[in-house]
């Protein structure tokens, strides 16, 4: 199986990104208000470029637009987080930052009813796990010291 760089195609009201060199999400398809992701067999890619049946999309994980509640595109991370329904989330893992931004912009155009904001997490959000780990280790150390 040859390795390709990430490719973007726009065919028949369908946009897809092919990442054969990725370990996750080798194929991401956006068609008819649904996001599909998965790792199909190699033969599927030939069917994408031709006008063949797209029945293989049924075997991929899908998220309809009307289920999506939020999309997170964090700078420096290689994933797009899609929050849907009440408390579910799915990650689109993308090796290339440019492709990640391209998919995000595509979704941004397709979903104009969302509001977009840029947020910087607080210092507490970054430090909280380390603080609690330090607190637990210190507590264990004091406990063990008094035994």
Going through the chain in order, the beta strands assigned E by DSSP cover: 7-11, 14-18, 27-31, 34-38, 61-64, 68-73, 79-84, 88-93
CA–CA dist 30, 17 (Å, integer): 9
Token digits for 101?
């931004």
Which pairs from 66-73 meet CB under 8 Å and 24+ separation?
66/33, 68/111, 70/114, 71/104, 71/107, 71/111, 71/114, 73/100, 73/101, 73/104
Instruction: Classify 3 as helix, strand or coil.
Output: coil
116 touches 52 (CB < 8 A): no
Provide block-wise average pLDDT over 10 residues at a time, the chain (147 residues). Answer: 41 74 80 86 69 70 90 86 88 87 88 78 85 95 89
Where do the domains of the chain lie, and which CATH numbers do they carry?
7-119 (2.30.29)
Which pairs from 82-90 meet CB under 8 Å and 24+ separation?
82/35, 90/37, 90/61, 90/63
| Terminal Cα distance for the chain, rounded | 61
Instruction: Provide the pLDDT for residue 57.
Output: 75
Q: Cα dihedral sign for 113, 32, 10, 40?
A: positive
Instruction: Provide the pLDDT for residue 49.
Output: 63
Structure pTM? 0.70
């Amino acid at each position: 199986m040859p390795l390709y760089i990430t490719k973007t195609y726009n065919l028949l009201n369908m946009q897809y990104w092919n990442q054969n060199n990725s370990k996750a999400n080798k194929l991401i398809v956006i068609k008819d208000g649904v996001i599909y992701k998965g790792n199909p067999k190699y033969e599927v890619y030939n069917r994408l470029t031709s006008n063949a049946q797209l029945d293989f999309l049924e075997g991929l994980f899908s998220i309809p637009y009307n289920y999506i509640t939020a999309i997170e595109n964090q700078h420096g991370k290689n994933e797009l987080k899609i929050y849907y329904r009440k408390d579910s989330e799915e990650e689109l893992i993308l090796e290339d930052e440019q492709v990640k931004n391209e998919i995000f912009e595509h979704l941004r155009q397709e979903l104009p009813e969302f509001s977009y904001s840029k947020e910087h997490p607080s210092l507490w959000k970054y430090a909280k796990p380390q603080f609690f780990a330090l607190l637990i280790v210190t507590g264990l150390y004091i406990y063990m010291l008094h035994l």
